[in-house]
Structure 1
Amino acid sequence: MTDSNYTFEQKYLDEVNEKLDIAQKKTEQELARTSNDRADIEKSWGDVRIKTSTYENILDTALSVRQQQQMLIERQNSFQNATNRLQTLKKLKVNPYFARIDFQEKGEEKAETIYIGLGSFSDTPDHFLIYDWRAPISSIYYDGGLGNVEYMTPDGKQNVDVKLKRQFQIEDGVIVTIFDTDEAVGDQMLLDALSGESDTKMKSIVTTIQKEQNKIIRNTSADLLFVQGAAGSGKTAAVLQRVAYLLYRYRGNLNSGQVVLFSPNQLFNDYIDQVLPELGEQNMVQMTYYQYAMRRLPKIQVETLQERFEEHNDAANENITRFKGSLAFFKLVAKYAQTLNKGNLRFKDINFQGKPFFDKEHVAKIYYGYNEQYKLGQRLDATKERLASSLNGRIGNELKEKWVEEAIQNLTKTEIDSLFGDQPREFASEEKEYNFLARKIVVNAFKPIATAIHRNRFINVNAQFAAFLRSVPKMTDLSKWDISATDWEASVERTVTEFKTKQMTLADVSTYLYLYDLITGKHGERDIRFVFIDEIQDYSAFQLAFLKFSFPKAKFTMLGDLNQAIFTKENSKTLLHELGSMFDPEKTSVVQLTKTYRSTQQITDFSKELLVNGEQIIAFNRNGAKPVLAQFDTMAAMEARLIKQIESNNAAHETTAIITKSLAEGLAVDAVLKAANVKATLIRSENQRLVPGVIIVPSYLAKGLEFDAVVAWDISVTNYPSESERQLIYTIASRAMHELTLLACGPVTPLLDRVNPDLYEVE
């Protein structure tokens, strides 16, 4: 880079910063002015006189109030717009832009220059000094090198001839480095970004978005965008930028409340919650599938992540779990629900004062009294309407009942005042006053019945769920799933017993909710426009189909790494095929991210050899130390080595994660470190927050996270004996960015046998 180029770019940066300062001062003055105007309008509410003597006076008052409301709304909008503008200006002042591209459009005489940053900035309406990275023209920067580049605009495809691609690193208003490159994003800039230390919060990757990631971010046509990405390939980061892009692209028609992200655990939600605010957008709705289930079943104790990970199923139960998670089982629930249109729906009495008010036989007679053209939801709505009408009709009959008379006699003065409310107490006779109070008492007493009708409490969903499970052997051939009738019957009784104590597995929760929705005619949350599901390899096909059913108007983005399937293991291999049958193939887009950026080449090369098909993963060329394997004869020796490693990492200012297989192991390690006065934080549950320094985390909570240094705790044959844990070991190893240490007490797990010994060092 020549001195003249550097001088030119620094001069341009100085000019932009000067104009940013001017714009910031103007916006601050506008904010102050708008705030004062708003305060004056609020004070002037006292000047509005309420006149009700004539119709004209009432109309004048209404118009005056409406005028005040409109002025206040207008000032509020101005205030909010100025606040948003000021936030963008402050963000740009820290780092105005990170790239420049020069390009020439067909038919134009000379090239045009644009600078790209986190937001747009113009000094006049038609003169942009900085373009938002999400603007259509900015995709030129991400999608290709020099020469002819095609990009999408609202009017269709456009072609330009890219003459220059320049990248900047700016600190405190000074250009530190300039790169000219013919790549989408030059390796040097990416290398500088990746060489930094890890943090407790994920950062935006706007400055280093790669071409394949840009395809994910800007796709607006697919109903299903499936992203298969190796550990550390930037799939989650790219998807968060995708949310920011969509909010920008559909500004005015889409808000963050219409976007839902299902993530692997709450810990991960906390890790990513700064990315969108950093880009100037509000966070979308974030939850785990567990939280989604709990939100709908607050009184049921749903199987936790820890319980799910640590449960030990025999072959029969594993086959049943596999069957319950299949698309075939999902279709079976729908098939069963259809049979309920003709009979066999289970009902409950609606009681009043300990006796049936509407008995279940009466409710069933109403429900099945409608013709066969009625769908389940329509049948239910009609039944509720009849019951509500019948309830209203019973109010008059109930007024003379003895319990009503006793209730009136026992009323206190406060209770009487409450019943009268604002009602004038002038009645033509004592009888009319009595009837007024009696009606109020009866209506209040009937409220629980009205609520029971409104909330479908006359349907016995629990009994229906059990009835469905018991009917399964008659509806399908269980032997195809290697399930015997005896094993199925035993599992049903176990499920029913657990349900009586308000406990449920995650697999059964999905079935229960889907059956309930079909019976009640629910059509899902139709205002949600985009659903993102991270780590889909740990979802069953049933759960994914249920989410598609629950968000019928949404476009889906699903991302994961089938090499990291902790819970579904072998089932994950059929997931792609089953997804294919849920969505229109013409509106399905698959993006494969094979290049991994998180770890050094040495850690990536080691990690990928743990896998059977690991050769598909490509390491980014960033050098570091080889992983270290240390094997010990005693637990005390392994503990001493751990403490030594922590001291070394702390001295190098590296964040360290000790990843244990289970929480029980994590507790044991925590006790050892406490006894040695080594400061560390144990992550016991997904609801904790990541903190700086040393953390101890069970393997099932480490998904999606990354750390400077990882210590894989006790990878012995005793702890990791079986082939089914290969993906778990890979997940643990691939959390490390710069340093990986594997400790084992006793013989090392045979899962390392397939790894080339040249790829790691043995102490």
Structure 2
Amino acid sequence: MSTPDSLSADDPLAREQAHLAASRAALRAMRADVEALDITDVAANWVNAQVLARQIDERIKALADLSDTPLFFGRLDYLHAPGAEQAEGAEGEQFYIGRRHVHDAAGDPMVIDWRAPVSQPFYRASKKDPMDIALRRRFGYTGGELTAYEDEHLSDPAEAAKASRLLQQEIERPRVGPMRDIVATIQPEQDEIVRSGLSGTVCVQGGPGTGKTAVGLHRVAYLLYAHRERLARAGTLVIGPNKSFLHYIEQVLPALGELTVQQATVDDLVAHVEIKGTDDAAAAVVKGDARMAEVLRRALYAHVTMPTEPVVVVRGSRRWRVAAYEIEELVRELLERGIRYGAAREALPQRIAHAVLVQMERAGEAPDDRVQDTVARNSAVKAAVKTIWPAVDPAKLVLRLLSDPDFLAEHAAGVLSDEEQKAILWAKPARSVKSAKWSAADAVLIDEATDLVQRTHSLGHVVLDEAQDLSPMQYRAVGRRCTTGSATVLGDLAQGTTPWATRSWAEALSHLGKPDAVVEELTAGFRVPTDVIAYASRLLPHIAPGVTPVASVRENPGFFELRPVTGDDAVVAACRELLDHEGSIGLIAADARVPALAEALTAAGLTYLAPGEETTPDTRLTLVPASLAKGLEYDYVVLDEPQAVVDGEPDERTGLRRLYVALTRAVSGLIVTHAAPLPEQLG
């Protein structure tokens, strides 16, 4: 590794620094060119002008040069020109690999996008398979300045393979602020997932610190690069477990130049009603069961009744009669086709009108499509459709199911047991949709009913993170958003902390509507220190027997300490001790313990943040309820009272899973403080 002690004009590091400066200047010129565009006389109308202006604004933002983010992080020296025949004497090329493409005034590339095919060997090449790479160079940065480089001569058999110090330092760099990209540290097994095709759905099972969330986000960035036009039309969406988590990851894609990806929680997707109530565990489990879809379908289509009277259409002096049995045939045909309730209701008047037109043609008339549309709007036809196939409000349908025991019993017969029906019935039936105390699970039921009435819009690609906590009905809600697209499902079966947590990925993917998805497992841990993950993995036989324990690949062992304490002052002292180190600190505790610890921190003069709030150099301590710790990471963690974390959940297995999550949030060090005995499962 070279360092900038004494640089000359011929020093390789000086040349690389010069290329960085030139590349940044070229990026500024690219942005200036876009800012200088005059679209005054380009757009045909004001609508097109607005769309074009927005696209230009997004392009300007995407071309921003982030001063503290390296513009390129590696270099590849090819033995031959990529894509050319490897003939003797063929001249190789040199490419700088970075977060985005940069070209000079002549259009020649100065930095190649990490997603381009020519960049792939940076992540995949090895001594065993050099992929025509003579040299792979990694760069080290300090505060945005290029300060070091490290070379691997992949084509030189005399040079032994060795671990990259710069790569290890980047992996272990302190985490302050929101989640950052891992584009400089993507490993071969991660890169394979990132570059998998758009048409297929991928499920990534990964333990703590294996980088599954980052892999999912980088896959979105790759797909937008490889299929930009298609995804620009269809749209992309990242779904996270809560707002704090989404805030934590929201800067990753913009740092890669991708600004159009939407983010939401499952609750955001199904926000048809205002959430005012909560369910107990028993009710939530039943409402989240996939069998509820059949109950809703039965209840909805029960509104369809067979006609008992003919429809008589009067046009001028003529009367046209469609018999009841003919209309019944039309209704049964629509039911057998299995199309959406609303679509069938819209089709029925046209079917009846067509039957009238057939009679007109037999009588010697020559009606056209306009006549059919007029007949379909006839008051007699509209009245018949209203009786036979009435409009149904999805929220009112769910309201009746949860309020009317007879209505629920009729449509849940043979699907839900009597006990299950009692579990989901409201103790106090609501009078209206607005006055009802809807729960989050109720909103998912309304979303299912809404889709039965009218098809949900499908996106091109959806990323679903922390998927192990979703109920089958929530999986169905997400699946509706990508019926014509693909998905990236991310999760860890060992971290499922809901009563309805996923038992197997095969089952979950079936509910998602993607049973043919490929399941990949990441087992190399890049975040959690060896001693910490080994201690947490003691819980795996009790919470997820089939899950492979994470094997930490970090060189820095960090530190791990079990510390018996006698009061909250000792917990505060542990936090103060960690503040002497560089990086972020998370104090994780059972939700019920948070108020007391907040009071103790305030009394001690220690300022702290809530999850999702961005750390600053002056405020690096976050007080985290255990229920919100999932998906977050801190350089150092103080975990307060493990047994209290377990006891805070409805059952022991869920509590142990919550504890597993809390134990694995640390990047560099963990102190476990406890006055009560530790859970016996930790040995």
Q: TM range, normalised to the smaller chain?
A: 0.7 to 0.9
Matching residue within 563, 573, 589 for 1:644? 573
- Secondary structure, counterpart of 2:135 in structure 1: strand
Does residue 10 of the first structure (1) align with residue 38 of the second (2)? no
Partner of 1:759: none
Instruction: Measure how far apart 1:333 and its partner are.
Output: 3.8
Q: Which amino acid aligns with 1:742?
A: V
Structure 1 residue 524 and structure 2 residue 524: aligned? no
Does the Cα contact within 8 Å between 2:523 and 2:548 map onto a contact in 1?
Answer: no
Letter in 2 for 1:667: P
CA distance in 1, matches of 2:110, 2:482: 41
Judge conservation of contact 1:223–1:583 (CA < 8 Å) in 2: no
- Distance in 2, matches of 1:618 and 1:201, equals 25
1:630 corresponds in structure 2 to 563
Shift in Å at residue 615 of structure 1? Answer: 5.4
Shift of 1:117: 1.1
Q: Deviations over 1:429-452 (max 9, x none)?
A: xxxxxxxxxxxxxxxxxxxxxxxx
- Contact persistence 2:77–2:135 (CA under 8 A): yes
CA shift in 2, pair 1:556/1:493, >3 Å: same
- Corresponding position: 1:513 with 2:489: no
Residue of structure 1 in register with 2:362 after alignment: none
Amino acid at match of 1:545: R
| TM-score, scaled to structure 2 | 0.77
CA distance in 2, matches of 1:139, 1:184: 19
Does residue 325 (structure 1) correspond to residue 288 (structure 2)? The answer is yes
The equivalences for 1:138-157 within 5 A come to: 138-146=119-127, 148=129
Query: 2:268 is matched with which residue: 285, 291, 313?
Result: 291
> Residue 92 of structure 1 contacts residue 117 of structure 1 at CA under 8 Å; is this kept in 2?
no
1:497-516 deviation line (CA, Å, top 9, x unaligned):
37865223333332232123
Alignment partner, residue 503 of structure 2: 573
Work out whether 1:559 is the aligned partner of 2:522: no
Distance in 2 between residues matched to 1:297 and 1:184, nearest whole Å: 59
Q: Which residue of 1 aligns with 2:240?
A: 263
**Equivalent position amino acid for 1:267 in 2:** S
| Deviation string, structure 1 residues 17-66 (Cα, Å, up to 9, x no partner) | 464365356446645654xx56xx59xxxxxxxxxxxxxxxxxxxxxx97
Matched, 1:378 2:343: yes
Answer yes or no: is the 8 Å Cα contact 1:629–1:742 preserved in 2.
yes
Q: Distance in 1 between matches of 2:628 and 2:538?
A: 23
SS at the partner of 2:331?
coil
Q: How far apart are the structure 2 equivalents of 1:573 and 1:79?
A: 46
For 2:575 and 2:186, the matched residues in 1 are separated by: 33
Does the alignment pair 1:497 with 2:432?
no
Q: Which residue of 1 aligns with 2:255?
A: 278
Aligned pair 1:700/2:627, yes or no?
yes
**Paired residue secondary structure (2:488):** strand
Quote how far apart the aligned CAs of 1:638 are: 2.3
Maintained 8 Å contact 1:608/1:615:
no
Aligned to 1:134: 115
1:177 is aligned to 2:149: yes
Question: For residues 343 and 505 of structure 1, do their structure 2 counterparts lie closer, same or farther at Cα, with a shift above 3 Å needed?
Answer: farther
The number of aligned residues is 604
- Deviations 1:389-429 (Å, cap 9, x if unpaired)? 99x999xxxxxxxxxxxxxxxxxxxxxxxxxxxxxxxxxxx
- Alpha-carbon distance change, 184 to 274 in structure 1, aligned in 2, over 3 angstroms: farther
5+ residue gaps, structure 2, are 155-159, 308-326, 336-340, 353-372, 380-389
**Alignment RMSD:** 4.2
Contact 2:75–2:96 under 8 Å retained in 1: yes
2:527 to 586, 590, 598: 598
Query: What CA distance in whole angstroms lies between the structure 2 residues aligned with 1:548 and 1:260?
Result: 12
Query: Which has the higher mean CA deviation after the structures are superposed, 669-678 or 184-193?
Result: 184-193
SS in structure 2 of the partner of residue 231 of structure 1: coil
Within 2, Cα distance between the matches of 1:468 and 1:144? 63
Contact 2:331 2:348 in 1 (8 A): no
Contact 1:102 1:114 in 2 (8 A): yes
Q: List gaps (5 residues or longer) in structure 1.
A: 43-64, 150-159, 345-366, 395-452, 754-763
With over 3 angstroms needed to count, the CA separation of the structure-2 counterparts of 1:724 and 1:146, relative to structure 1, is same
**Residues 204 and 6 (structure 1), Cα distance of their counterparts in 2 relative to 1, 3 Å cut:** farther
Aligned to 1:666: 594
Structure 1 stretch displaced more, 508-517 or 729-738: 508-517
How many Å separate the matches in 2 of 1:342 and 1:116? 65
Q: Which of 615, 633, 656 is the matching residue for 2:585? A: 656
Match of 1:421 in 2: none
**Quick one: structure 1 residues 343 and 469, their matched pair in 2 at CA, closer, same or farther if it must change by over 3 Å?**
farther
Letter in 2 for 1:372: R
Between Structure 1 and Structure 2, which shows a larger proportion of helix residues? 1
Q: Which amino acid aligns with 2:205?
A: Q
Residue from 550, 562, 568 that aligns with 1:617: 550
Cα distance, 1:541 vs structure 2 = 2.1
> Do the aligned partners of residues 577 and 267 (structure 1) sit closer, same or farther apart at CA in structure 2, a change above 3 Å counting?
same
TM-superposition CA deviations, 1:272-314 (whole Å, max 9, x none): 11111111110511111122222x223x4254xxxx7xx5x4x
Could you tell me whether the CA contact under 8 Å between 1:370 and 1:379 is conserved in 2? Answer: no
C-alpha distance in 1, partners of 2:643/2:395? 55
For the 8 Å contact 1:235–1:593, the answer to whether it is kept is: yes
Matched, 1:715 2:642: yes
CA distance in 1, matches of 2:68, 2:146: 11
2:276 equivalent to 1:301: yes
CA distance in structure 2 between the aligned counterparts of 1:591 and 1:86, rounded to whole angstroms: 34
The percentage of counterpart residues that share the same residue type is 21
- Does the C-alpha gap of structure 1 residues 530 and 682 become closer, same or farther in structure 2, counting only changes over 3 Å? closer
Structure 2 counterpart of 1:166, one-letter code: R
Counterpart in the other structure of 2:361: none
SS at match of 1:207: coil
Secondary structure, counterpart of 1:238 in structure 2: helix
State the shift of 1:116 in Å: 0.8
Of 453, 456, 478, which residue of structure 2 is paired with 1:547? 478
Shift of 1:99: 1.4
Q: Is the 8 Å Cα contact of residues 237 and 261 (structure 2) preserved in structure 1? A: yes
